[in-house]
Chains A and B, each alone.
Chain A
Amino acid sequence: AQKITQTQPGMFVQEKEAVTLDCTYDTSDPSYGLFWYKQPSSGEMIFLIYQGSYDQQNATEGRYSLNFQKARKSANLVISASQLGDSAMYFCAMIHDFGNEKLTFGTGTRLTIIP
Chain B
Amino acid sequence: DAGVTQSPTHLIKTRGQQVTLRCSPISGHKSVSWYQQVLGQGLQFIFQYYEKEERGRGNFPDRFSARQFPNYSSELNVNALLLGDSALYLCASSLDSGVGNTIYFGEGSWLTVV
* Chain A interfacial positions (CB closer than 8 Å to B): 31-33, 35, 37, 42-47, 50, 52-53, 91, 93, 95-108
Contact = CB atoms under 8 A, between A and B. Distances in A.
B99 A52 contact: yes
B5 to A, nearest CB: 11
Q: Is the interface of B mostly helix, strand, loop or mixed?
A: strand
Contacts, number: 77
A35 B42 contact: no
B98 interface: yes
Range, interface on chain B: 20 to 34
Contacts of A101: 31, 33, 48, 50, 55-56, 94, 97-98, 101, 103
Given A31-B99, A43-B88, A96-B99, A106 B58 contact: no
Nearest to A99: B55
A53 B55 CA distance: 22
The 4 A-B residue pairs whose C-beta atoms are closest, nearest first, are A100-B56, A45-B105, A44-B107, A100-B55
